Chain A
Amino acid sequence: MKIMRAWILGLLSLLILPVQAQAMNVELLYVGPTEGTVWLGVQQGLDEANHQGEFLGLKYTLTPVSKEVLTKQKSITAVLLALDPDQVLSIAKLKQFSEVPVFNLNSDSNELRTACLPNLFNITASQKMKADAQAQMLAKNSDSKAHAQGWHKDFRKFAARQLNSRFTKKHGVIMDDDAWAGWAAVKMLSDTVARTQKADAATMLAYLKNDLAFDGQKGAGATFRETGQLRQLVLLIEDDKIVAEAPLRGVKGGLDSLGLKSCK
Chain B
Amino acid sequence: MKFKQLLLSMLILVSVSAWADPTYRLFVTNEKDDTVSVIDSRTGKIETTIEIGDRPRGIGLSPDHKILYVVISEENAIAMVDVATLKIIGKLKPGEDPETFAVHPNGNLYVSNEDDAKVSVINPESGKILYEIKVGIEPEPVAASPNGDIVLVASESTNMVHIIDTKKHEVVANILVGARPRGLAFNHDGSLAYVSSEIANEVAIINIEKRKVIKTAAIDIEKSKPMALVLSPDEKTLYLTTGRASKVAVFNAKTLELVATIDVGKRVWGAVLSRDGSTLFTANGLSHTVSMVDTASNKSKMEIEVGQFPWGLALDD
Contact = CB atoms under 8 A, between A and B. Distances in A.
B179 A194 contact: no
A191 B159 CA distance: 9
A55 B174 contact: yes
B136 interface: yes
Contact of B199 (A51, A55, A165, A221): A221
A95 interface: no
Interface string B132-156: 0000111000000000000000001
Nearest to A163: B157
A220 B222 CA distance: 13
B15 to A, nearest CB: 35
Contact of A55 (B136, B180, B201): B136
B136 A215 contact: no
Interface string A162-178: 11011001000000000
B138 A52 contact: no
Contacts of B176: 56, 194-195
A194 B200 contact: no
A8 interface: no
A159 interface: yes
B258 to A, nearest CB: 20
Contacts of A215: 157, 159, 179-180, 199
B137 A48 contact: yes
B171 interface: yes
Contacts of B136: 51-52, 55
Contacts of A162: 114-115, 138, 157
* Interface majority SS (helix, strand, loop, mixed), chain A: helix
Given A191-B159, A213-B199, A159 B180 contact: yes
B160 interface: yes
Interface string A5-32: 0000000000000000000000000000
Nearest to B138: A162
A220 B137 CA distance: 19
Contacts of A213: 179, 199-200
A26 to B, nearest CB: 16
B172 to A, nearest CB: 11
B2 to A, nearest CB: 38
A121 interface: no
B308 interface: no
Interface residues of B, number: 20
* Interface majority SS (helix, strand, loop, mixed), chain B: loop
Given A55-B162, A55-B174, A220 B115 contact: no
A52 B114 CA distance: 15
Contacts of B115: 162, 165-166, 169
A221 B162 contact: no
Interface string B103-130: 0000000000011010000000000000
A221 B219 CA distance: 14
A180 interface: no
B274 interface: no
Contacts of B179: 191, 213-215, 221
Nearest to A216: B199
Contacts of B187: none
Contacts of A221: 179, 199-201
A198 to B, nearest CB: 14
Given A159-B138, A162-B115, A52 B160 contact: yes
A199 to B, nearest CB: 16
Contacts of B117: 51
Contacts of A214: 179
Interface string B215-239: 0000000000000000000000000
The listed residue with most B CB atoms (<10 A of its CB), out of A48, A55, A166, is: A55
Interface string B54-66: 0000000000000
B308 to A, nearest CB: 17
A52 B162 contact: no
The listed residue with most B CB atoms (<10 A of its CB), out of A48, A165, A169, A215, is: A215
A126 interface: no
Contacts of A159: 138, 156-157, 180
20 contacts: A48-B137, A48-B157, A52-B137, A52-B158, A52-B159, A55-B160, A55-B162, A159-B156, A159-B157, A159-B180, A162-B114, A162-B115, A162-B157, A169-B115, A213-B179, A214-B179, A217-B157, A220-B199, A221-B179, A221-B199
**Nearest 3 CB-CB pairs, A to B?**
A55-B174, A215-B179, A215-B199
Given A215-B159, A217-B157, A221-B201, 19 more contacts: A48-B137, A48-B158, A51-B137, A52-B137, A52-B159, A55-B162, A55-B171, A159-B138, A162-B114, A162-B115, A163-B157, A166-B115, A169-B115, A191-B179, A194-B159, A194-B176, A213-B199, A215-B157, A215-B199
Interface of A: 48, 51-52, 55-56, 159, 162-163, 165-166, 169, 191, 194-195, 213-215, 217, 220-221
Interface of B: 114-115, 117, 136-138, 156-160, 162, 171, 174, 176, 179-180, 199-201
